[in-house]
Structure 1
Amino acid sequence: MLKLENVVAHYGNIQALSGISLEVSEGEIATIIGANGAGKTTTLKTICSLISPTSGKIYFQGKDITGRPTYEIVEAGISMVPEGRRVFPRMTVLENLQLGAYLNKNRQQVKSYLEEVFTLFPVLKSRAKQVAGTLSGGEQQMLAIGRALMAKPKLLLLDEPSMGLAPKIVESIFDIITKINCEGTTILLVEQNAGMALSIANKGYVLETGKIVMSDTAENLLENEKVKTAYLGE
């Protein structure tokens, strides 16, 4: 479904990605793990054209989407939940969710998608008129995921969904990610909590200083001694 071929990206003169190649197949959860500054967020931003790749190609469902405008990438079926949630704090929960469907002019369809999000996250329905900035961290994460789902993506990119959340809330968020995947959405997950990410993923990529140094099934990576030592605290 998604394929990156030798993607290079820079922040000014600093090279952030050094020839990334990876694939995400339809229906699976793939994860990218790595330390802070490894290039995980940059990879997702480059897929979405928030950063323009210096070289390399990005394909989605067989079509070259390299450097296309971000709104076209959303139209094609890719949505991203950014690191730090980035909800609009002064807008209500409902307004935040409606913004996620800004490309959809079919009001009935938007209403239907809204009900699907409220079924997945009942707490958001009860807080629909509440200002998003007053939600807890876990609720804001649910809102950020719900907002991305309002675009009805084929591929959902998740950037550090566990960041800053209590362990119980993290478990709940990861249960929801698994449920979204079971309902047919392919997922590319970037996560520092390597153990949690690999426990729900089909396959994983290990990123170090802008390069993929290892890739395998999630199960094999969980058992890999190098991964255990570097990322699982064993």
Structure 2
Amino acid sequence: MLKIEGINVYYGHIHALKDASVDVNQGEIVTLIGANGAGKSTLLKTISGLLKPKQGNILFEGESITGRQAQLIVKKGISHVPEGRRVFANMSVEENLEMGAFLRHDKKGIREDFQKVYDLFPRLYERRKQQSGTLSGGEQQMLAMGRALMARPRLLLLDEPSMGLAPLLVKTIFRIIAEINAAGTTVMLVEQNANMALSIANRAYVIETGRVVLQGSADELRASDQIKMAYLGGH
């Protein structure tokens, strides 16, 4: 579904991604693990058109989307839930969700998707008239995910969905990611909590200082001593 071929991305003089190649098959959850600053978020931003690679190619469903404008990439079927959630704080929950559907004109489908999002996140339904800035961190994460789903993506990019959340909420968010995937949306996940990420992923890539250094099934990486020592707390 997604094929990233040898991309190089720079921030000024900093070489943030070095010949990175990653594949995502339809229906999978693929996770990227690596330390802070390894280039994981950069990779997601490049896929979604927020950054442009110097070299390399990104193919989505066989078509090159390299360097395309971000809104065209959303239209193609890729939604990005950014790190830090980025909800529109002075707008209500409902208005935030409407923003997720801004490229769509199918009123009936939009109504159906509102219902789907509220079914996935009952808390958002309870808070639908509330200003988003007054929500808890967990509720804002749910809203950011719900807003992305309103674009009806075939591929959902999630950047650090568990960041700053209490352990119980982290479990809830990961259960919902698995549900979204089971309902037919392919997921690419960047996550500091490597244990949780590998528990729901099919496959994983390890990124170190901008390079993909390891890839394999989630089970293989969970069993790898090297990964255990570096990312899973050594056990």
TM-score interval (norm. to shorter): over 0.9
5 Å matches for 1:27-66? 27-66=27-66
**What corresponds to 2:72 in structure 1?**
72
Query: Which residue of structure 2 aligns with residue 109 of structure 1?
Result: 109
- What TM-score does the superposition give when structure 2 sets the normalisation length? 0.99
RMSD (CA atoms): 0.5
Matches within 5 A, 1:108-187: 108-187=108-187
Cα distance in 2 between the residues matched to 1:49 and 1:93 = 26
User: What is the distance in 2 between the residues matched to 1:107 and 1:182?
Assistant: 25
Q: 2:24 corresponds to which residue?
A: 24
Alpha-carbon distance in 1 for matches of 2:107, 2:126? 21
Q: Which runs of 4+ in 1 moved over 2 A?
A: none
CA distance in 2, matches of 1:106, 1:133: 28
Look up the match of 1:215. Answer: 215
Secondary structure in 1 matching 2:230? helix
Secondary structure (helix, strand or coil) at the match of 1:161 reads: coil
Give yes or no for the alignment of 1:4 onto 2:12: no
- Tell me the equivalent position of 1:90: 90
Residue 205 of structure 1 aligns with which residue? Answer: 205
Unpaired stretches in structure 1, ≥5 consecutive residues: none
Question: Which deviations, in whole Å up to 9, do the C-alpha atoms of 1:25-71 show, x marking residues without a partner?
Answer: 00010000000000000000000110010110000000011001111
User: 2 CA distance for matches of 1:108 and 1:202?
Assistant: 34
Secondary structure at the counterpart of residue 111 of structure 1: helix
Give the Cα separation in 2 of the matches to 1:2 and 1:167: 31
Length-normalised TM-score, structure 1 = 0.99
Structure-1 residue corresponding to 2:192: 192
Letter of the structure 2 residue corresponding to residue 225 of structure 1: D
Question: Which amino acid in the other structure matches residue 138 of structure 1?
Answer: G
Distance 2:61 2:81 in 1: 20
Query: Structure 2: which amino acid aligns with 1:180?
Result: I
In structure 1, give the amino acid aligned to 2:85. Answer: R
Q: Tell me the distance in 2 between the aligned counterparts of 1:120 and 1:49.
A: 28
Task: State the AA in 2 paired with 1:181.
Answer: N
Residue by residue over 1:131-186, the C-alpha shift from the partner in whole angstroms, topping out at 9 and shown as x without a partner, is 00000110000000000000000000000001000000000000000000000000
Between the two proteins, the alignment pairs up a number of residues equal to 234
Displacement of 1:21? 0.2
SS in 2 for 1:23: strand
Q: Distance in 2 between matches of 1:215 and 1:117?
A: 33
Do residues 233 (structure 1) and 233 (structure 2) align?
yes
Q: Which amino acid aligns with 2:163?
A: M
Q: Percent identity?
A: 58
Quick one: distance in 2 between partners of 1:19 and 1:193? 25
The offset of 1:107, in angstroms, is 1.7
Counterpart amino acid of residue 55 in structure 2:
S
SS at match of 2:15: strand
